[in-house]
A and B are shown apart, each in its own frame.
Chain A
C-alpha cells in the first residue's frame, strides 16, 4: 500500500503524517508513507486544499487533518 501526504510541509501536514504513521502502526500493515510537497504535483492530483491524503494514488481526503482513527477506517476498507 502506498500512502502519500500532500502538502507543502506546514504543521497540519506534519500532524497528518504523524496520524497516518500511527494508523499504519496500529493496523500493523505494510505501507510506504511518502510526502508530496511540490505544488505542481499536488495540483496534478486535483487537490486545491491541503493537507491531503492519497492511498494508492487516489485522493481520499483534502483540506482536513484526519485523525488516526479516521485514517484507520480508510485503510481498513
Chain B
C-alpha cells in the first residue's frame, strides 16, 4: 500500500508556470512551497485541458492557491473557468516585474516569504508543516 494515493489533498497550489521570468518564478516558488510541505503542487495544464480526473481530484482540496507571474492572471482564470475559487497571488503586485526579474534562490525565497506572510497564512492553515527554510 506504499503507493496509496488516498491521503488528504490539503492545499493545492497552481503556478502559471508561464514562459517569462515571472512565470518561471511562479513555478519555482510553488515547487519550493511544495517541498516545504506548505502545499501540494498540482497541474494547471490538466485543469486547462479539462481532464476530468484532475478536476475531480482538485475538488477534494481544502484550499486552492493560484500563483500568477503577471496581471493577466492565467492561473486564476483557468481555475475559475473550471469552477474553482482560488486564493490568488500576483507576483507583479509583490514587486516582481516581467522582464526584469532574475531567478535566483534569493528571489525565490523572497517571493515565497511574501506569499507565506500574506494571504497564504490563511491559505495554508490546517496544512501540516511550515517552510523548511532551504
Cross-interface CB contact of B56 among A7, A8, A9, A61, cutoff 8 Å? A61
Q: In the complex, which of the residues B4, B43, B52, B60 contacts A63, with contact meaning CB atoms closer than 8 Å?
A: B60
CB contacts under 8 Å to B, within A50-73, are 50-52, 58-64
* Contact digits for B49-71, partner A, Cβ 8 Å, 1 yes 0 no: 00111111101110000000000
A8, A39, A47, A49: residue with the most chain B Cβ atoms closer than 10 Å: A49
CB within 8 Å of B: which A4-60 residues: 7-10, 12-13, 39, 42, 45-52, 58-60
Residue numbers in A under 8 Å from B72 (CB-CB): none
A52 touching B1 in the complex, CB below 8 Å, given contacts A7-B6, A12-B6, A63-B9: no
How many whole Å from B4's CB to the nearest CB in chain A? 5
Q: Is there an interface contact between A49 and B60, defined as CB atoms closer than 8 Å?
A: yes
A44's closest neighbor in chain B, by CB? B53
Nearest residue, chain B, Cβ from A53: B56
> Taking A46-B46, A46-B51, A50-B6 as contacts, is the C-beta distance between A62 and B56 under 8 angstroms?
yes
- The smallest C-beta distance from A49 to any residue of chain B, in angstroms, reads 4
Pairwise interchain contact B4-A8, C-beta atoms closer than 8 A: yes
Q: Specify which of A8, A58, A60, A64 is in contact with B5 (CB 8 Å cutoff).
A: A8
Q: Which residue of B4, B8, B42, B53 has the most chain A CB atoms within 10 A of its CB atom?
A: B53
**CB closest chain-B residue, reference A11:** B6
List 19 extra interface pairs beyond A7-B4, A52-B57, CB under 8 A. A7-B5, A8-B1, A8-B5, A10-B1, A10-B4, A42-B5, A46-B52, A46-B54, A47-B53, A48-B5, A48-B43, A49-B57, A51-B6, A59-B52, A60-B56, A63-B56, A63-B59, A63-B60, A64-B60
In the A-B complex, the 3 residue pairs with the closest CB atoms: A63-B60, A46-B53, A46-B51
